[in-house]
Amino acid sequence: MINRFVLNEVSYFGPGARKVLPQEIARLGLHKAFVATDKDLLKFGVADKVLKVLEEAGIPYTVFSDIKPNPTVANVQAGVKAYAESGADFILAIGGGSSIDTSKAIGIITNNEIIISVCYHKTELLPDFIRYSRRKELVVRHKYDLILRLIHSSAVWFLKYLKQINNEVARAEKALEKSIRNEDLLRLMKLEKSMVYFNTSIRGNEVMLSKLQSIFQEPMYMDAELLEDVETELKQAHLTVNIYSDILTGTMDAFASIISNNVNTIMKRMTSISIILMVPTLIASFYGMNVVNYIEDAPHGLIAIVLLSITLSALAFFIFRKIKWF
């Protein structure tokens, strides 16, 4: 007795389930099988039970048995090459995890209708791209066309985020013009770091685009207008991030110079104040010594000393004011 289980595809399980293979192959309109298994299953006759069903139904097949436990990238690459040379139109995996996992990788690489995108953070790029494609009724002809449109969309999003970063820089500059605070400087440093990440990402897209051009060279993949649009958007994004990065770097350097200049100004003022206050202290220390100073008996000696101290301090103040230390 066999059982039929339907999820997103059809699954058969139970004794004799392999006998349903010809029926499913005919239903899907497939013709030649690429059988992926390992040498041990061939050696012990396990794979032969499935191959016999194919032979009885007159279904041609090619066997690929170069699969090792914990398959490597080299195994998958060899399988992709063997699949391309076999002329098969579907993959039949026989075995455990290694055979099935290798078959999945071969299928993903060789199937022109599947593209896998991996993102570590939530992004609005793909939903926005889908909405835009439906609104404009864009027709995606093949996977190269889809990848180019995704790169084009990412370049547009790069420009959108760069404008937001530029607005943040402008706000931080206005805040720093009023008062130089550590929080605003740290904000500029974070924005500068973001620029580095943006630059790296855009360069990565440019490298990927050049590699894709070398891979998809067939005439069916050539869309000069779309390719030119993608290259233009990437160049514009690259130039924009460089311009904003230079502006941000110049802003950081300018504020660093302003801070340094402010420190120097404060030090000059503190030095000037110290010198001005030192004058009366020095005079008082001279006349406070226990020696003959010729005015100890003068009735107005204290007043004279105070006036002398004030006069010299005022003179020092005007000198420092003239050289713009105040």
Binned average pLDDT, 10 residues per bin, the chain of 326 residues? 54 81 88 89 86 91 87 86 90 84 83 63 76 80 78 83 83 74 76 81 79 72 78 84 83 78 83 83 75 69 79 83 74
Candidates 1.20.58, 2.30.29, 2.60.120, 1.10.3470; CATH matching 125-262: 1.20.58
CB 94 within 8 Å of CB 41: yes
Q: Residue 260, SS3? A: helix
Pick the closest to residue 46 from 84, 18, 67, 8 (CA basis): 18
Q: What is the DSSP string of 74-132?
A: HHHHHHHHHHHHHT-SEEEE-SSHHHHHHHHHHHHHH-TT------SS--SHHHHHHHH
What local confidence, expressed as pLDDT, does residue 60 receive? 93
CB atoms within 10 A of CB 270: 10
Tell me the CATH number for domain 3-110.
3.40.50.1970
Enumerate residues 6+ apart whose C-beta is below 8 A from 135.
none
Q: How far apart are CA 205 and CA 224, in angstroms?
A: 18
CA 124, CA 187: separation in Å to the nearest integer?
Answer: 25
Residue 283 near residue 309 (C-beta atoms within 8 A)? yes
Phi and psi of 118, rounded to 5°? -115, 130
- Number of Cβ within a 10 Å radius of residue 320: 18
What is the topology classification, in CATH, of domain 265-322?
Answer: Methane Monooxygenase Hydroxylase; Chain G, domain 1 (1.20.58)
Q: Are 6 and 32 in contact (CB under 8 A)?
A: no
Same fold: 3-110 with 125-262: no
Question: What are the extents of the domains in the chain?
Answer: 3-110, 125-262, 265-322
Predicted pLDDT at 7: 47
**pTM for the whole thing?**
0.51
Write the CB contacts of 128 (distance below 8 Å, at least 6 apart in sequence). Answer: 153, 157
Structure tokens at 50: 């499935």
Report the alpha-carbon angle 258-261-265, nearest 5.
Answer: 135
**Residue 45 CB coordination number (10 Å):** 10
Give the CA count within 13 Å in the CB-facing half-sphere of 175. Answer: 14
Under a CB-based contact definition with an 8 Å cutoff, are residues 62 and 34 in contact?
Answer: yes
Crossing angle, helix 224-287 and helix 182-215, to 10 degrees?
160
